[in-house]
A = this chain, B = another copy of it.
Amino acid sequence: MNQIDPSAIGQLFTDARTHAAWQDRAVPDSVLKDLYDLMKWGPTSGNSTPARMVFVRSPAQKAVLLECMAPGNVEKTRTAPVTAIVAYDLAFFEHLPRLFPHADMRTGFAANPERAARAALMNGSLQGGYFILAARALGLDCGPMGGFDAEKVNAAFFADSTWRVNFICNLGYGDAARLHPRGPRLSFDEACRIV
């Protein structure tokens, strides 16, 4: 295989930015379904795929979510056409007999909730990376956020569920004129070694 074309590299990685201001342009449900149908293919340990998404778009549910956000994240979330609660399912292992029928992966997780929770966070975050890049591949801009009250989000959206919030991500078409300068990154020699 060859590299994908430079404009796609730019859209996914080198030119892509975290957005906080949004154009007045809707995101149809069909795009959210396309987004899931891309991100779902990314690899996870034992095909465990613990990530779960709640796409919040109704004014009533958006208002509930806004109550959970840190003050600096309220306005960008209020104005985003859709906000995704990217969660993971602590009981993801119940699907393993279907998702990974080659061996019994379920029993070990069912017997060890701490191990299951760590695997849900790790693989659910890996899928969070696929989610963000799949959204960009579809032409969406993302505004992922860690600034929210996780207990409030879990109480409001997952009270009778084994799903737990991981991070929250605004989705829409960003207003590039309102971006701030980009933060620096570590150099290859700081973050990598070849041995």
Whether A138 contacts B183 by the Cβ 8 Å rule is no
Complex interface bits, A1-35 against B, C-beta within 8 A gives 1, otherwise 0: 11111011101111010100000000001001100
**One of B95, B118, B183 near A99 (C-beta < 8 A):** B183
Residues of B with C-beta under 8 A to A188:
33, 36-37
User: Closest B-chain residue to A133, C-beta based?
Assistant: B133
Q: How far is the CA of A126 from the CA of B56 in the complex (A)?
A: 22
**Per-residue CB proximity of A98-126 to B under 8 Å, as 1/0?**
11100000000000000000100111011
Interface centre among A54, A132, A166, A188 (most CB of B within 10 A): A188
Residues of chain B contacted by A100 (CB below 8 angstroms)? 183
Identify which of B43, B173, B193 contacts A142 (C-beta below 8 A).
B43
Q: Is the Cβ of B194 less than 8 Å from the Cβ of A57?
A: yes
Copies in the complex: 2
In the bound complex, do residue B36 and residue A192 qualify as a contact, i.e. CB atoms below 8 Å apart?
A: yes
Task: For the complex, count residues of A whose C-beta is within 8 A of B.
Answer: 77
In contact, B47 and A183 (Cβ under 8 angstroms): yes
In the complex, whether A90 has a CB less than 8 A from a CB of chain B is no
- Picked from B13, B33, B138, B183, the residue with its CB within 8 Å of the CB of A38 is B13
Residues of B within 8 A of A37 (CB): 188
The interface residues of chain B lying within 8 Å CB-to-CB of A14 are 38, 41
Contact B132 A43 (CB under 8 A): yes
Closest 7 pairs (CB-CB, A-B): A129-B129, A125-B125, A4-B8, A45-B146, A1-B139, A47-B183, A40-B185
13 residue pairs from A and B, CB less than 8 Å apart? A2-B139, A4-B137, A5-B5, A13-B42, A32-B192, A37-B188, A40-B185, A52-B191, A52-B192, A54-B194, A55-B194, A98-B184, A100-B183
